[in-house]
Amino acid sequence: MNTGEAHVRVTELFGTELADLHLKVLCGDSDLGNKISHPRVQKPGLAFAGYYAYIKPGRVQIIGESETEYLRTVSEVEQEERFRRIAELGVPVFVITKGIPAFPAFLAQCRAHHVPVLGSPALSSTVIKRISFFLEDHLVPVTQMHAVLVSVYGLGVLLIGKSGVGKSESALDLVTRGHSLVADDRVTIRRYPSGDLVGYSEGAGRHHMELRGLGIINVKDLFGLAAVRDRKSIDLVVELEHWEEGRSYDRLGLDESVYTILDTAVPYIRMPVATGRSVSILVEIAARNHVLKLQGHDSAREFVNRLEAEIERSRRRR
């Protein structure tokens, strides 16, 4: 499992996800490598008024019409002083909205302090919403796992286990049974502020699987659009492992284990793989059973409770 501290460089704002903002560089072409480290954006109105404690390093600063109109009411000397003070506070980038022309003194201070300034013709509300959504999706804890993620009865089931244990083959069998593939071999997982773990596949490998003896197959082309999903929350982890004679396995289903991903506990099942076992059917049943548990029906616990009640009744009759 590989983890990394998430950040976004200013140059990433020019990708296809924010193409509708039509961002352009007003100054600071050489500083587009600055790191954005906070998902929330700010409007520096208070800072332009002289209250600099409001500015937080690592945040995108949005300058709109209200900030610009206020600055026109102060002297050029005050403007330059406030521009300098703000540019010194670790701002990674400023974005000016509505196509408003930037103050030359502001651009000069930003150049001097290596802070790029971008412009957009979009409204401030649109820029704030779009950039905030982009940053929230990218500035969250992230990891990658060697695993397979499938959607089974609406649950995101993460199949883990050693190479060659049959994860991809089991996932393919599940797809033929009407379920959906999310990612094969390498699953990228992000943890959002809500606590949800969301997995997906990055790059050219999306919707593809590698099968020993067959090579790379395109699941969407073979089975149709319903056979794939772009991303899915992870609700259950199933570890496939080769059957070992004499090893103890949970036979009642009372073992409520968890698997930790990005400091988040996920229900976990260890499933032995042996000749003659239909792993895909077992994964289906595990998913169905987990849905029942979420609805308040724990079959194993109910069985044990009935058994204990019967033993107690038998004891009393003696």
Q: Note whether 2-138 and 142-304 share their fold.
A: no
Catalytic residue, chosen from 84, 146, 270, 293, is 146
At 89-105, the pLDDT tens digits run 999 999 999 999 999 99
At 191-215, the pLDDT tens digits run 987 889 999 998 788 888 888 778 8
Determine whether domain 2-138 maps to CATH 3.40.1390.20: yes
State yes or no: is 293 an active-site residue.
no
Q: Which pLDDT tens digits describe the chain residue by residue (318 residues)?
A: 444 456 899 999 999 999 999 999 999 999 999 999 888 899 999 999 989 988 888 999 999 999 999 999 999 999 999 999 999 999 999 999 999 999 999 999 999 999 999 999 999 999 999 999 999 888 888 899 999 999 999 999 999 999 888 899 999 999 999 999 999 989 999 998 788 999 999 878 888 888 877 888 899 999 999 999 999 999 999 999 887 776 666 655 556 789 999 999 999 998 888 765 688 888 998 898 888 877 777 665 665 566 666 666 666 666
Q: Where are the domains of the chain?
A: 2-138, 142-304
Distance CA 48, CA 52 (A): 8
State yes or no: is 185 an active-site residue.
yes
Catalytic residue, chosen from 72, 251, 316, 318, is 251
Cβ(269)–Cβ(223) under 8 Å? no
**Exposure letters 57-79 (e unless 16+ CB within 10 A, then b):** ebbbbbbbeebbeebeeeeeeeb
Q: Are strands 94-96 and 117-119 parallel, antiparallel or unpaired?
A: parallel
What pLDDT shows up at residue 294?
77
Catalytic residue, chosen from 31, 59, 82, 167, is 167
Fold of 142-304: Rossmann fold (3.40.50)
At 218-234, the pLDDT tens digits run 999 999 999 999 999 99
Catalytic residue, chosen from 185, 288, 293, 301, is 185
